[in-house]
Each structure stands twice: as C-alpha cells, then as structure tokens.
Amino acid sequence: MKNHFRHDVLVIGSGAAGLTLALNLSSIGKVAVISKDRLKDGSTWYAQGGIAAVLDNKDSTDAHVTDTLNAGAGLCHEDAVRFTVENSTAAIEWLVEQGVAFTRNATDQEFHLTKEGGHTHRRIIHSADATGKAVHSTLIDKVRNTSNIEIFEKHIAVDLIQQADSNNPRLRCSGAYIYNREEDRVCTFSAKVVILATGGASKVYLYTSNPDGASGDGIAMAWRAGCRVANMEFNQFHPTCLYHPKAKTLLITEALRGEGAYLTLPNGERFMHRFDERGELAPRDIVARAIDHEMKRLGCDHLYLDISHREDDFINEHFPNVKKQCLQFGIDITKEPIPIVPAAHYTCGGIVVDKHGLTDLQNLYAIGESSFTGLHGANRMASNSLLECIVYARSAAQHIRQQLSSINEATEITTWDESKVTNSDEDVVISHNWDELRRFMWDYVGIVRTKKRLERAEHRVKLLQKEIAEYYSNYKISNDLVELRNLVMVAQLIIRSALERKESRGLHYSLDYPDLGKITRDTMLVPTNFAAQNVIVDHQ
C-alpha cells in the first residue's frame, strides 16, 4: 500500500482558489489536489451572489477601489485592493474562457451586472443566484480532465512538513501529512511547493452559513509551522441566513437586497433607515449589528427579509434557487417574507501573505479565505471574495512558475509515526468539546463583544486546548479530531486578536470600546517559532 506520494505542487483545498491554481500550473509539473470531502463540498459551491469586477464602461477601477476601502473601515491595504481590482477584468475573462456561463441580458446579450451592499455601481457578474456552483462545477470539470492533476478526495491535511534549507536561513515547507479518511491512515505527501487553499474558519461558531469543512485547517497548520496571522478578530456575519429548524446553513443572498428586498420586524415595519442612510444596502457589518440589536431589543429569535412586492416573473428569473430552496421549507418568497438570522460567514483575517500568496515559510503559499492579503480590512465588501480567490491564485501560479525549476526536491522526510498511540473508546469527548467550543464562541465572541466575555472565552479555550492536546497525543487521529484541534487553535487566535483591539472597527464591535481608536493598525500575531525570524520579510 503506497504511503508516500511525490508531486511538484501540493494544493491543499479544492475550492475556486485551489482549482484555479492547479489548472494554471498543470502544464509545468505534477499537481496533487487534496480535498477534505468531495471536490464540490467547499464554500465556493454555495456562493450565491457573484463576483465583483470592473466590467462596465460607467464603472472604474478607482470607484471599485474606493468602495472597497470604505467598506474596510480604514484597514484595507490600498496596494492590495488596487492590485486585486486592476486584475479583476482579466480574472473574469479567464473564467469565461474556462466556460463559466454567467447570466446575460435578454436584450443585448451583455453580461447582466447587479449591485450589492457597499457598491456604488452595478459590477457584480453572476450566474443567476448560483454563481459559486457555476464557477466551481466548471473548474471541477476542467481539473478532472487534466492529465497532470491527481485528485485525492476524502483526505484531510494534518500538519505541514518543515525542513532546514542549506541554501537559506529560513525553514522550507516540503509537504504535508495527510489523513486518508476512507482507509483510516496517514500518508506523507512531499512537494517542491505547497499551497494552502483551505478556506475560512466560520465553523468555530454555532450558527454559520458555511459547510461543515470550514474549520480553519490551513490557518491552524500555518500558525503551528511558524507563520504569522493577522486580523483574526474580524469575522463577518452574513445578515441573512434562513431561520428554520431544518435549514442548517442556507444563506439568503445579498443580491435580494440589491434588487429591492426589505428587512422588516415581525410586525412588517422596516428599520434599517434608523441605522444607516443606505438602508438595506449598508455594508454587512452594519446590517448584521442592526438585526442583532433589533432581535435583542424585541426578544425575538429572528427577523424577516421580504421581496414579495417584486413581480413573480422577476423573482423567478433572478432568484430561482433561493425560491426553490425556501419552498423546500414551505416558504414561498413571491408571497411571504423569509425568516432570517445573522450567521458567521467569512474569515477576513488569516495567514499573512504578499501579493503572490507567499507566506513566512519558504515554498508555502496561502490563497483564498485562509490568507490575509490586506484586501478586506475590517470588513469584506460583498462579492470581493471569489475575486480574491481567482486573482491571487493566478498571481501565485505565475510566481511559482518562475521558481519551480530552481527548487530542489525534498529528501529524508520523516514518515508519520503512530506506533505509540491507541484507538480511542471515548470519541464522545470530541463531540462534547466541539459543541462547547462553538457555543461559547457564539455567546462570548459574536457580533457584539465585551472584555469580560472575551476573557471568559479565553479561559474556556485554554482548558479545551489542554484536553485536546492530551487526546491528540495518545489516540489515533480521526477527521473530527483534526478539525476540532484546528478549530480550537483558530478560536484562540480570534480571541487573542479581539482582546488586543481596544476599539470598535468594522466587524469587531466592543461595548467596552465603542469608538474608533486614534491609531489605525492591523492585529498581527507572531508565533514563538516564527518561520522568518532570521530574515526581514516585508509582506505588504
């Protein structure tokens, strides 16, 4: 049974970022794509709204940049924003070349562009209300039909492999230990370069729009390997997820509000105008806090999103999937409002990278939601996330293409050793800890925070880390244990970051520090085993 796999490029993650990079590198070497579940079981598949890009002659790069900077509450890195927006048109053109079928106007067959919160122009290109599925399915088909790409589904990365480099004072990443879920064994994957495209960590919260795999694996692995992380306190809560006992993670796209949907109280009264002059089109952090405020004020479990005043034909044409999904729960959006609640949606912070996606660890890249590029600042603007995936995946691929031939293959990699561990007969510990973590993160580190709540969460997370470290050391690993270990690590990073930010800005709102601070800065966490401590690395 093969236990050691060798490739030129190891891509951990199978969403838009990972598959885009794999396709852009398949012509120069052997590429392995690691997928925790099936290829389609990541966040990309479920993205509804669209991709923000400058595609209309009435729009401009400067306008898109300005809107993003405004939404980011002073923490966006303007060079990263401009780099992303300047490459937005080329990114969309590449997706069209791959065969993504974006929605077109019936009259002139030009791409139909919609508008979402924070945008001053219609610049959201989409495929009806299932853009992520259209993009992801196209990329999956391409990857499956590319001979130089080897796909490993039902595999989850456990940890990165680090080695000293005789030609460089910095440590290098030479691969990863990967757990084969179906065969219940850990394999060694070595590669010249490794790319983390593992998505975010919203599963750390009790209520989330994300699929089950969003457990912060890449962020946790990179931190353990000595990479810096930044701005982990900025967790975006999507304002409108379906509130229904049987609807686990059904997000109601922001595009509904872009096309005139109202947010209402249980009595049908609109309220957003009391919080922001932009009403329903205010940035997500403002909308989520407004909903949270009204729910707590009224003591109700949910509010409503209502688009039933629009024509049935319009709703059927633009939101067929939202209508279909809601009908499964007995809600007809053409006739009645949708019960909604905010839910954890996007991790704005992550692994510190440069414009090529390069981390502090030599030969290790991070792209997509797991990375911190400086694009999102204190609040991600709608539909910039898929854009970031494509732009930075293509940029990383270009950089790797220039470097790959000069990187020597790793030698003498230590294989995984589980000779001293046993099978556990107490997996209930994992499920209990998983449940406790997500509940106290929701209660203490949610939309509105206080110093006391954060300190309480910090105390609980340290106890959990101790328990999990002991469990991890003594028993054979499982998928649930790997995810829980990573989630607890990410939770600690979120709490530490939130405690360090003594102000309210963007997605971080503290009752103890309700005002903006005088100094605008990122929250940069540096691990004790900082991978680049022997050299100066400028990532911005």
What residues are annotated to the active site? 284
Neighbouring residues of 408: CB distance < 8 A, sequence distance ≥ 6: 192
Cα 100 versus chain centre, distance:
21
Question: Can you say whether the dihedral through the CA atoms of 368, 371, 374, 376 is positive or negative?
Answer: positive
Question: Can you say whether the dihedral through the CA atoms of 107, 110, 116, 121 is positive or negative?
Answer: negative
Residues β-bridged to residue 194: 10, 364
Q: In whole angstroms, what is the distance from residue 360 CA to residue 347 CA? A: 20
Q: In whole angstroms, what is the distance from residue 427 CA to residue 149 CA? A: 36
How many alpha carbons fall within 13 Å on the CB side of residue 171?
A: 19
Distances (CA, A) of 407 to 161, 191, 194: 16, 10, 12
Among 509, 505, 507, which Cα is nearest to 454's? 509
Q: In whole angstroms, what is the distance from residue 91 CA to residue 387 CA? A: 7
Among 75, 159, 199, which Cα is nearest to 361's? 159
Q: Which long-range contacts (CB under 8 A, 24 or more apart) does 208-212 make?
A: 208/249, 208/343, 208/344, 208/345, 209/46, 209/238, 209/241, 209/249, 209/250, 209/251, 209/343, 209/344, 209/345, 210/43, 210/46, 210/249, 210/344, 210/345, 211/41, 211/42, 211/43, 211/45, 211/46, 211/249
Among 166, 157, 534, 179, which Cα is nearest to 361's? 534
